[in-house]
Homo-oligomer: A and B are copies of this chain.
Amino acid sequence: MLFLWLSKALLNVGEVEKPADPDAKHIFPHTFLQILEYKSQNVSTADVFFPSSSFFFPSSDLLPAMDGDTKTMTFLQEVVDILLAYIVESFDRETKVIDFHYPNELLQMNNWELQDEPATLDDILISCRATLKYAIKTAHPRYFNQLSTGLDMVGLAADWLTSTANTNMFTYEVAPVFVLLEYVSLKKMREIIGWPDGRGDGIFSPGGAISNMYAMLLARFKMFPEVKEKGMSSVPRLVAFTSEHVFNSFSNQIGKMIPADLERRILEAKQKGFVPFFVSATAGTTVYGAFDPLIAISDICKKYNIWMHVDGAWGGSLLMSRRHRWKLDGVERANSVTWNPHKMMSVPLQCSALLVREEGLMQNCNQMHACYLFQQDKHYDLSYDTGDKALQCGRHVDIFKLWLMWRAKGTIGFEAQIDKCLELSEYLYNKIKDREGYEMVFDGKPQHTNVCFWYLPPGIRYMEDKEEKKKHLHKVAPVIKARMMEYGTTMVSYQPQGDKVNFFRMVISNPAATFQDIDFLIEEIERLGQDL
């Protein structure tokens, strides 16, 4: 790469290779420039395994100190070139979403074993290429498989910076800027929830399950502070409630919690001498995308003095949309809210926030007085040390991705992105709801981007025997999905639910997806399922 040659010249370190030198290609063999050339020749960059070149020194020597600068910068730039090429490929609809291989096959396709001896940097670059070659292209506009899809360029840049800063969130001392950005962002999120002046508390955790667990710990501590020192045997039998819409008594047929049922269950538990302490209402269920009726639930929680948690891991982001936030009406009455920007807002994984209404509670609940971590005689305002607010001591910096993306898009940018995904999902719903060969899993327009449907291939479409039909239908989605992965054209999730046989669950959180990609998905399902 030219600039590296130039910088080497500038630094006057060692011998200077001229770019005109016939060896130059070997020295910097995989520049972005060349990758573009390969790309235009329709060769996957991952196939381009260059012969070993100047990178024969063991990679363990790599330290960007003294005369190591150039060597290190060259290596990192090589990796970046590989990544940039991968990104361009990932967004290209002509590229496969996945180059699928079975686990045992994939284990044979490369030497993945760990060795005693160091590898050369060349080998490291080859490993990077091989890893990407067989990775899922989660940024691909036709990757719909999970709640987290897409790749935001500003978010990615922010994550690269986060890795480079390589620090820990537990104190202001070691993460001054990131701690402040977490403070600023949590406050903004609490304002959006609707808590007065954005007051309250919160933390970013490694994911929705951990955020929800932290909420339960707070609820338990709030009701029985002695649990912290005396343990579970010091408290009565506690009961938590949530809707799993497989339990029909608890949720209606579109997956929403039924408040009257909740109240009945609470009373039953109390009669048995148990203590209801926690209700987790769901804002956006995983499969149906259903929103529990928060206002009615909050009335019940208030009546029985129960902590109300809203699990908005998937649906919380709709709070940013003026058009859709009514689905979470009543969220401001919750004691705590889980909201994962790594799902609907397409922030790179991991990014999950727990927001808490009461100030001070997190600290009281989790403080361990580990004086080796949280010295009380430090020379700055200790309220910025966050390490005592949760179970974790070390905590990864997850805030910068969200913060930088928010700066880049503004609140209105996130809103537009979310609205667009919901529009695409409505387009899909409208397209298939009356289309021959399709059946919707639940009635009515989806509330989130989840569209759940069966595709019935012509062969089983008119079967008389209902049980026989069901048995066949159950096998359709898995086969179509397996074929999708083998062709690598698209990926969408399927599952059974209660007595419902396997159906497709389409979700859209990928900002790169378009109406044409939705059309493609339907055509592809029909192409791959036609003969079943």
Contact = CB atoms under 8 A, between A and B. Distances in A.
A471 interface: no
A76 B139 CA distance: 16
7 nearest CB pairs, A to B: A206-B206, A59-B408, A159-B163, A372-B495, A379-B482, A60-B413, A118-B410
B33 A11 contact: no
Interface residues of A, number: 159
A118 to B, nearest CB: 4
Interface in A58-93: 58-60, 62-65, 69, 72-73, 75-77, 79-80, 82-84, 86-88, 90-92
Interface string A479-503: 0011001000000011111000010
Contacts of A495: 371-373, 375
A153 B396 contact: no
Q: Which of A114, A123, A413, A495 has the most CB of B within 10 A?
A: A114
A30 to B, nearest CB: 12
A151 to B, nearest CB: 5
A146 B168 CA distance: 9
Given A135-B177, A371-B495, A371-B497, 12 more contacts: A2-B3, A3-B32, A10-B37, A11-B36, A65-B512, A76-B84, A132-B164, A146-B168, A148-B394, A168-B349, A371-B496, A377-B478
13 contacts: A60-B410, A86-B164, A87-B164, A98-B176, A119-B407, A131-B161, A135-B175, A135-B176, A135-B177, A138-B165, A206-B392, A209-B394, A352-B394
B115 A411 contact: yes
Most chain B CB inside 10 Å of its own CB: which residue of A59, A69, A121, A158: A59
Interface string A163-205: 1111110001111111111001100100000000000000000
A210 B91 contact: no
A403 interface: yes
A381 interface: yes
Given A165-B138, A393-B209, A410-B119, A33 B10 contact: yes
Contacts of A119: 407-408, 410
A104 interface: yes
A174 to B, nearest CB: 5
Interface string A401-416: 0011011111111001
Number of copies: 2
B349 A413 contact: no
The interface centre, meaning the residue of A72, A372, A373, A502 with most chain B CB atoms within 10 A of its CB, is A372
Interface string A215-233: 0000000000000000111
A287 B161 CA distance: 30
Most buried by B among A119, A384, A406: A119
Nearest to A369: B246
A312 interface: no
A495 to B, nearest CB: 4
A357 to B, nearest CB: 20
A470 interface: no
A126 to B, nearest CB: 10
A193 to B, nearest CB: 14
Given A161-B83, A213-B391, A124 B65 contact: no
